[in-house]
Amino acid sequence: MVKRLVRPIILGRYLPTIFFVLFVLLSYLIIKPFIFTLIFAVILAYILSPLHALIQRKIKSSTASAIILIILLAILLSVGGFYFVKTLVHEAKEIFVTFQEAELGTTKVQELLSSPYIKPIVEKTSLAVVEKGTQFLVSLPLFMLNIIIMLFVLFYAFKEKDVGRNVVEMLPLRESYKESLYNEIRKISKLVIYGFVVVGLAALQFAMGEVAAAVGLAIFGLVVTNNIDLILRPILVGKKAEMHPLIILVGGLGGIITFGAIGLIIGPLILAFTISFIKVYRDEQRKLHLKEEIA
């Protein structure tokens, strides 16, 4: 009789946890195709939140300012995509013109391509180009869907204002934990994002051949932060956020390997969040021990 009663009691105790884990797993499977888009959208919303606040001060409407910013962002993405395609077409044209100017006859080209050293390379390159091209065409609809989802997430993130606080409020923690955690995450993530954005944009300008613009952007970053360590991003973040530069370096490199290009930002942020959790937990435990000793 006792054994029959024990089983339902144990099952009733753990049943909510089982259902919770099950629904979390199912939810993960549902959002898995868009998880990086959602993360990137939240990060982008955080980066653009000052701009949204500026527009909102002029318009006095959170919804209207969010719509205006989303439209501006959509235009920016469209213009960027157009120039990207234009650049690819231009480079392809330049390659074609280069071959023409080389004045290589058809016979010479065929002989060159038939060479036992060149032929395997050409075949592998052709297969790779066809494979990547097919993958690109197949992934276009999903890419466009991800862009639409990102814009929707950004709209509601701007409308709801502080996304980070809303996420932290959802965590099953005490209020003191939540407040400390939110402050730590905000401090660290702001420095990580700012460091990557400013230095990344300067590097992009330099790669595009616009050396003056790159130097100007770097100097602007130095003036704004009033800290020459911005050039060495890991040192800047490690110093300001009390994090070791190695954590930022490993987070960025490991993030790229795990998540792709977006991991350059997500990797250090994940490590920053983890360290914030540990730090808050450690401080709270220290406070509890002090209270016990006083009592």
Per-residue pLDDT tens over the stretch 51-85: 777 888 888 777 888 888 888 888 887 887 777 77
> What is the rounded CA–CA span in Å between residue 77 and residue 55?
19
Half-sphere exposure (CA, 13 Å, Cβ side) for 240? Answer: 24
pLDDT value at position 236? 43
pLDDT value at position 55? 82
For 176, the token pair is: 């003191």
pLDDT value at position 202? 54
Mean pLDDT of 33-61: 78
More confident residue, 56 or 215: 56
Among 118-127, 229-238, 274-283, the range scoring the smallest mean pLDDT is: 229-238
How far, CA to CA in Å, does 180 sit from each of 43, 237, 238?
Answer: 20, 19, 19
Question: CB pairs under 8 A, 24+ apart, for 280-289?
Answer: 280/177, 280/180, 280/181, 280/184, 281/177, 283/180, 284/176, 284/177, 284/180
Mean pLDDT of 8-34: 73
Per domain, the residue ranges of the chain are 33-161, 170-295
For 204, the token pair is: 């992009």
> What is the rounded CA–CA span in Å between residue 156 and residue 62?
10
Nearest CA to 47 out of 273, 217, 267, 265 is that of 265
More confident residue, 103 or 33: 33
Where do runs of H (alpha helix) occur along the chain?
2-31, 35-59, 62-101, 106-113, 119-159, 163-170, 175-207, 211-225, 233-240, 245-259, 263-294
> What is the rounded CA–CA span in Å between residue 87 and residue 21?
48
Q: Dihedral sign for Cα 215, 219, 220, 225, please.
A: positive
Judge contact between 198 and 230, C-beta under 8 A: yes
Of 102-116, 135-149, 249-263, which has the strongest mean pLDDT? 135-149
pLDDT value at position 238? 45
> What is the rounded CA–CA span in Å between residue 46 and residue 164?
8
Per-residue pLDDT tens over the stretch 109-136: 566 666 666 667 766 777 777 777 777 7
